[in-house]
Chain A
Amino acid sequence: MILTILKKELDAYFSSPLAYVLIGLFSLITGVIFFNLLVSYTDGIQAIPPNLAQEKSFVEEVVLPLFTNINFLFLVFIPLITMKLFSEEKRQETIDLYWLAPVTETQVVLGKFLAALGLILAMLIITGVLPLVIWGVGIRDFSLLGTSYLAVLLNAGCYISLGLFCSSISGNQIVAALLAILGIMFLWMVSWGGHLNSNYAVAEIFVYVGITSHFERILRGLVGTQDLIYYGTFMLLLGFLTVKSLGRRNW
Chain B
Amino acid sequence: MVNMDKILVVDRITKEFPGRTAVDEVSFEVAKGSIHGFLGPNGAGKSTTMRMIAGLMVPTAGTITLLGEPVVAEKLYHKNLIGLLPENPPLYPEMRVEAYLRFVARLHRVPKISEAVDKVLEALALTGVRHRLIGNLSKGYRQRVGLAQALVFDPPFLILDEPTNGLDPQTVVELREFIKKLADHKTILFSSHVLPEVEQLCDHITIIHHGRIRASGDLREIHRRFRQGLVLKVGLLEHETLPDLSVLGKYEVTHDHVVGHERRYGVVFEDDRDCRAELGRLIFDRGLHLLTIQIESPELEDIFLHATETKQ
A residues within 8 Å of B by Cβ? 1, 4, 8, 11-12, 15-16, 92-103, 248-249, 251
**Is B149 engaged at the interface, CB distance under 8 Å to the other chain?**
yes
CB pair A102–B56 under 8 Å, yes or no, is no
Q: Which residues of A contact B103 (CB under 8 A)?
A: 4, 8
CA distance A12 to B95 in the complex (A): 8
Asked if A97 meets B56 with Cβ closer than 8 Å, knowing A4-B106, A92-B90, the reply is no
Residue of A nearest to B106 (CB): A4
Q: Is B54 an interface residue (CB 8 A)?
A: yes
* Shortest Cβ distance from residue B87 to the other chain A in the assembled complex, whole angstroms: 9
Instruction: Give the contact stretch, choosing among B78-86, B115-123, B240-248, B297-305.
Output: B78-86
B contact face: mostly helix, strand, loop, or mixed: loop
Q: How far is the CA of A93 from the CA of B93 in the complex (A)?
A: 12
Residues A93 and B88 in contact, CB atoms below 8 Å apart: yes
Is there an interface contact between B90 and A96, defined as CB atoms closer than 8 Å?
yes
Contact A16–B94 (Cβ < 8 Å): yes
* Residues of B contacting A101 in the complex (Cβ-Cβ under 8 angstroms): 77, 80, 104, 107-108, 153
Q: Given B91, B95, B108, which contacts A102 in the complex, CB threshold below 8 Å? A: B108
Tell me the nearest residue of chain A to B76, going by C-beta: A102
Option from A4, A12, A100 in Cβ contact (under 8 Å) with B77: A100
Cβ of B94: which chain A residues have Cβ within 8 Å of it? 12, 15-16
Q: Does B280 contact A (CB under 8 A)?
A: no
In the complex, which residues 96-113 of chain B have their Cβ closer than 8 Å to any Cβ of chain A?
99, 103-104, 106-109
Asked whether, in the complex, the Cβ of A248 is within 8 Å of the Cβ of B55, the reply is: yes
Given known A1-B107, A4-B106, A102-B78, contact A12–B92 (CB-CB < 8 A)? yes
B78 contacts which chain A residues (CB < 8 A)?
102
Does B58 sit within 8 A of A, measured CB to CB?
yes
Q: Do A249 and B107 have beta carbons less than 8 Å apart?
A: no
Chain A residues with CB under 8 Å of B149's CB are: 97
B57 at the interface (CB under 8 A from A): yes
Query: B72: CB under 8 A from chain A?
Result: yes
Chain B interfacial positions (CB closer than 8 Å to A): 54-58, 72, 77-78, 80, 82-84, 86, 88, 90-92, 94-95, 99, 103-104, 106-109, 149, 153
A8 to B100, CA, bound (A): 9
> Is the beta-carbon distance between B90 and A97 smaller than 8 angstroms?
yes
Sampled A-B contacts (10; CB under 8 Å): A12-B94, A15-B95, A92-B90, A93-B90, A96-B56, A97-B90, A102-B109, A103-B77, A248-B55, A251-B57
Q: Which residue of B lies closest to A250 (CB)?
A: B58
Min distance, Cβ B132 to any Cβ of chain A, angstroms: 13
**B67 smallest CB distance to A (angstroms):** 16
Residue among B80, B95, B107, B109 with max Cβ neighbours from chain A (10 Å): B107
Closest Cβ of chain A: how far from B156's Cβ, in Å? 14
Given contacts A97-B149, A100-B56, A249-B58, contact A4 B107 (CB under 8 A): yes
CA gap between A249 and B99 in the complex, in Å: 29
B92 touches A100 (CB 8 A): no
- Bound-state CA distance A93–B56 (Å) is 11
Instruction: Give 9 nearest A-B pairs by CB, closest first.
Output: A101-B107, A94-B90, A4-B106, A102-B78, A249-B58, A102-B77, A101-B108, A97-B90, A8-B103
Cross-interface CB contact of A248 among B56, B92, B99, B153, cutoff 8 Å: B56
Cβ-defined contact, A99 with B107, below 8 A: no
Q: Which residue of B lies closest to A5 (CB)?
A: B107
